[in-house]
């Protein structure tokens, strides 16, 4: 949830193949093999919703709104 959250998180995570991931990304710094690349990042908000349902039960999720989100994220 947030402005460009998928694009931003995928940038922070880095390329799926750690050999191609830039230093300073999670995969670039901590991964050694493409099939064991430490972290997963969804490719779209729709994909994230599907994947959240695969990995989490409804009781594990909560709605959270940052009190200053309007001031910092909405333009």
Q: Return the active site residues.
A: 40
**Of 49, 48, 20, 47, nearest to 33 (Cα)?**
20
Retrieve residue 65's tokens.
């709104």
Contacts of 8 (CB under 8 A, 6+ apart): 2
């Amino acid at each position: 949830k947030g402005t460009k959250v998928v694009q931003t998180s995928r940038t922070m995570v880095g390329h799926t193949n750690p050999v191609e991931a830039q230093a300073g990304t999670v995969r670039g710094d901590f991964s050694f093999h493409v099939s064991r690349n430490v972290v997963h990042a969804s490719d779209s908000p729709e994909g994230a919703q599907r994947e959240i349902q695969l990995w989490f039960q409804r009781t594990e999720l909560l709605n959270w709104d940052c009190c200053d989100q309007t001031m910092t994220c909405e333009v």
